[in-house]
Structure 1
Amino acid sequence: MAVNVPDTFIDNAKVMAKGQVTIPKDVRTVLGLDNGSRVTFIVEHGSVRMVNSAVYAMQMIQAEMAGEGEKAGIASEDDVNDIVREIRSEGE
């Protein structure tokens, strides 16, 4: 079932004695958080962003790897398939 949550809204939570807060349901929905999910806090210039750690890690990897395929001469899916075939034939 799809939940329609606006992408811009304001919500709040109370900080408890040990610094814990309950992330509001709509915020968890937008971030794609389930029980056991991890979050990353990004602090910049006095503001804090909270993001899904798994999504953030993937974005960092993608940014780090940008252009590496081209540097290695891989420009298409066919190039990838050729490499896979070559590696598989070496193992035979």
Structure 2
Amino acid sequence: MNLAKISANGQITVPMEIRRLLGLKSGDKILFYQKQDGEIVLSNASAQAIRKAQSAFSGAAETMGISDEDDVQTLVDEVRYGKGQ
């Protein structure tokens, strides 16, 4: 268990072990949220955003017919240079 003290300004220092577990470094943001059971959870906001984006894009490659790196490169070229070039 790790304990942190709240300063008069409402600031806390996240213990080193927790920073390591969450992959936090100086300047990172921490996301606090409450689960349905009332438990308060904190997480690395950047990692949470990546997981949310991954979830939102889940299945997009299959829908677009992208199955390998060549398909990705073709799509990038089409966006950069326009279709048919």
Give the alignment's TM-score, normalised by structure 2.
0.79
Aligned match of 1:15: 6
Letter in 1 for 2:43: V
What is the Cα deviation at residue 69 of structure 1?
1.0
What is the Cα deviation at residue 59 of structure 1?
0.5
Q: For residues 65-76 of structure 1, what are the structure 2 equivalents within 5 Å?
A: 65-76=57-68
Identical pairs, percent: 34
Of 7, 17, 25, 2:16 maps to: 25
Aligned match of 1:55: 47
What is the Cα deviation at residue 86 of structure 1?
4.0
What is the Cα deviation at residue 88 of structure 1?
5.0
1:42 corresponds to 2:51: no
RMSD: 2.1
Moved over 6 A (4+): none
What is the Cα deviation at residue 82 of structure 1?
2.4
Unaligned runs of 5+ in 1: 1-9
The separation in 2 between residues aligned to 1:84 and 1:61, in whole angstroms, is 19
Secondary structure of the 1:81 match is: helix
Equivalent pairs, count: 83
